[in-house]
Structure formats: C-alpha cells, structure tokens
Structure 1
Amino acid sequence: MSDEATPLIPTTTSSTTNRRSTRNSNRNMYWTLGCVYGASAVAIAAYGAHGLKKIVPDPAKIASFGTAAHYQLIHSLVLLLATRAAPENKLAANLFTAGMTMFSGSVYALVLDPARFRFLGPVTPLGGLCLMGGWVALAF
C-alpha cells in the first residue's frame, strides 16, 4: 500500500534521462551526418558535372564519379529516414555512414588521383557491402 508521499505517476530516474539524452544525441548526430553528406553529394555532383572534365578526360571515370555522388545522395536520404523511422537502429546508421564514406570516398579519390590512392581500390567494394548491410540491418 502506498502513502501520500508516493507519487501516482513514477518519475524518470537519472539513468533513464541519461539514456534518452544519449539516444537523442545519437539520433541528432546521424541526422546531422545525413544532412552534411546530402549537401556535399549535391556539391560533389555539381563539380563532377561541370569542373571535373577539365582534369579528368576519361568519360568512364566521370561517370564513376557521378555514380558515387548519386549513391551518396540516396544513402544520405536513407540515413535521414532511418534516423526517424528506426532511431534505435544504430547498426543500420553506422553501416550507411561507413558505406557512404568508403564507397563514395574511395571512388572520388580514385578518379581524382588514381596513382596516389591506388591502395583504396579494395575499399570500394567494402563500402558497397556496408551499404547493403545497412539496408539489411534496417529491415530487421
């Protein structure tokens, strides 16, 4: 039996508040990353469409650059959606973030300076696997 000092509605404990605060900061971090990656994808795509031809004469490399920007933009939007639809799913958010960084980032570097960034060749498919893993993690 409760006395008059026992509240009818339990208050949240500091650990519950801390978990909520951490969860919100993670969600905000992924939201911010999605926005930054989305904005940079638009800028990179514009550069690829207008400025890249001056340094890279190969149309196939320019197309690869455009594909990387396209994937980055799509997955930026997916990261934003995942942040709202499944805020507890850090695995999906981490995989999308890593995938965009590795896949698109390695393609950009390899197109801009293939000799210097040759070592990034194996990173591109790993980034693609992370993007696929993000979709699977989001599904479950």
Structure 2
Amino acid sequence: MNWLTTAGIWGAIGIAIGAFGAHGLPTYLGESGYDAAAVAQRLETFHTGAQYHMYAALGLVGVGVAARSVVSGTLQAAGWLQLGGSLIFSGLLYAIALLSDDFRWLGAIVPIGGLTMIGGWVMIAVTGFARRGESPPPMGEG
C-alpha cells in the first residue's frame, strides 16, 4: 500500500468533510427540523469525527514516511488499523450527526473504531521499539 498517497487522499476527504460540517451541515440540520440544542449536539458529534479523521490522516503520513525506510509487517498493520479505525469511528459519527435518531444505536459501534485507531498507534510504537538502536539510512537514501 502506498501510505503517503492514502494519507493525502484521506486528509483531503477530511478537509472537505470538515468544510461541509462547518458550512453546510448547520443549514441541513436546521432545515431538517432539529431544534438549536439538537443542531449543536450533532455539530459537536460531526466535529469530533472530522477531528479524529484528520488525526488518522496524519498518522498515515507518519506510516508513509516510515515505510520509505522500514519494511515491516507491524508498520503495514499500523496503516490498515489507522485507516480502518477512522473509517469506523469517524464514519459512524458522521452518520449519527446526519441521520435521524433511529440510527443513534450506531454510537455503540463507534468505540470499536477508536480502539482500532489506538491499535494503529501501538503498532507504530512497536515498529519504533523494534528498530531502536538501528542507524538511520544515509541522507538521500530511504
């Protein structure tokens, strides 16, 4: 997997979704009949999804940069866990904010995405721990 390309795409999607959340979502929710308190709560939920979406994109940048000099199954696992976890975590928060209250039960699944992203960060740490004491590649290589 080309993690830098994935990070760039994932980050661009995150910015676009965040822009929608800031500019289009309040109008959409207001026109959908939600009162001010419900709009505020849904905007906060959406914002949390966008925030963690971008955290995952930055994690993928780190995986992509590290993958240029490290061939590691744990690093590949880190990338997949970051991407999959943010799809679950952020994707479900977006859905909760956008869909009717009939879909609030999706909130019970959101922590699985969070735990998956945590696993991705742990895999990054495991990769770094396994490589401690190794010399970095010479400048211009890797």
> Considering the TM-score relative to the shorter chain, is it more than 0.5?
yes
Count of aligned positions: 113
Once the two structures are TM-superposed, the CA of residue 80 in structure 1 deviates from its matched residue by: 1.2
Rounded to whole Å, the distance in 2 between the matches of 1:114 and 1:31 is: 36
2:17 aligned residue (39, 44, 54)? 44
Rounded to whole Å, the distance in 2 between the matches of 1:106 and 1:133 is: 18
Aligned residue runs from structure 1 range 18-97, under 5 A: 26=1, 28=2, 30-56=3-29, 57=36, 58-86=39-67, 87=70, 88=72, 89-97=75-83
Runs of 4+ off more than 3 Å: 114-119
Aligned residue runs from structure 1 range 104-123, under 5 A: 104-115=90-101, 117-123=103-109
Once the two structures are TM-superposed, the CA of residue 139 in structure 1 deviates from its matched residue by: 0.2
User: What is the TM-score when the length of structure 1 is the normalising length?
Assistant: 0.73
Listed as ranges, the gaps of 5+ residues in structure 1 are 1-25
AA matched with 1:60: Q
AA matched with 2:49: A
Which structure ranks higher in relative contact order (CA pairs < 8 Å, sequence separation ≥ 6)? Answer: 2
1:128 lines up with 2:118 in the alignment: no
Are the structure 2 counterparts of residues 114 and 138 from structure 1 closer, same or farther at C-alpha, using a change threshold of 3 Å? farther
Rounded to whole Å, the distance in 2 between the matches of 1:33 and 1:93 is: 9
Q: Deviations over 1:4-46 (max 9, x none)?
A: xxxxxxxxxxxxxxxxxxxxxx2x1x22221111001111111
Listed as ranges, the gaps of 5+ residues in structure 2 are 30-35, 127-142
Once the two structures are TM-superposed, the CA of residue 70 in structure 1 deviates from its matched residue by: 1.0
1:102 lines up with 2:88 in the alignment: yes
